[in-house]
Amino acid sequence: MTSRLNPYISFNGDARQAMEFYKDVFGGTLALNTFGEYGAPDGEGADKIMHAMLESDNGFTLMGADTPPGMEHNPGTNIAVSLSGDDGDLLRGYWAKLADGGSVSVPLEKQMWGDEFGACTDKFGISWMVNIAGTTG
């Protein structure tokens, strides 16, 4: 897998409907995972989307998720840029530079889905998410 950069949109409880709409618009393959699949299946918001990824036949990638319970949804600031791939050294280097002078909301570390993930806002106020696939340790 090569590294990719794409928009990541936070929705207010309607991520499934929105991502299905974008699939109708752009075509391609849509993968949906719920919060219940990666946590308490009977918990609050278990049926909501934790991660969605649409990959169109012409190379577009769009990701999104419902805003988790207890977090605020802010229209207008609900889009981040996602960097993902399996080149850990390259992506950790990007992370270090993006986080320098900014603020880290989720430290870059192993997550419950098995990947290394972090979220930060750079010194210009842009939100970034970095996901390193299949890391161990």
| Cα separation, 133 vs 3, whole angstroms | 10
For 50-101, write each residue's pLDDT tens digit.
Answer: 999 999 988 889 999 999 878 888 877 788 999 999 999 999 999 999 999 9
HSE, side-chain direction, 13 A CA sphere, residue 36: 9
Q: Maximum Cα–Cα distance for the chain, whole Å?
A: 40
Q: Which domains are present in the chain?
A: 4-132 (3.10.180.10)
Given pLDDT bands bounded at 50, 70 and 90, which one contains residue 44?
Answer: confident
% of the chain beyond a pLDDT of 70: 96
φ/ψ (deg, to 5) at 83: -110, 125
